[in-house]
Amino acid sequence: MTEELRAKLPKLYAQEKLGADAIVYVKYFTPDSNWTFYGTEFDGEDRFFGLVDGFEKEFGYFSLSELESVRGPMGLPIERDLYWEPKTLKEIVPELFME
């Protein structure tokens, strides 16, 4: 993670009241499987809060150190999407916010 990105990410709980309008600043993905990690907040050191899209879509915490250490089924590391542009949660997963 770059220092620039680290500085952009809101601290944990900063977007808590925004719900579907919370901004996703970073996206990590497994190139050899279907897991994607969307970070909305960061503690400044290791812990993210955001959306994890794996077996299910769920909100929760995940850590940078875990993302760096995990390998997919073909041994490939998790990557940061270098071309990611910030989006709201409702833009990424509108089905979770349908009324």
Q: Is position 98 within any domain?
A: no
Q: Say how many domains are in the chain.
A: 1
Report residue 44 CA to chain centroid gap: 14
Query: Could you tell me if residue 47 is inside a domain?
Result: yes
Whole-structure pTM value: 0.93
50 lies in some domain? yes
Residue 93 lies in a domain: no
pLDDT at 98 over 80: no
Judge whether 64 lies within some domain.
yes
pLDDT digits (tens, 9 = 90+) for 74-95: 999 999 999 999 999 999 988 8
Asked, for residue 30, whether it belongs to a domain, the answer is: yes
Residues of the domain holding 78: 3-14+21-87
- The residue-averaged pLDDT of 45-52 equals 96
Residue 95 lies in a domain: no
Residue 81 in domain: yes
pLDDT at site 99: 65
Please give the angle made by the CA atoms of 60, 64 and 65, to the nearest 5 degrees: 120
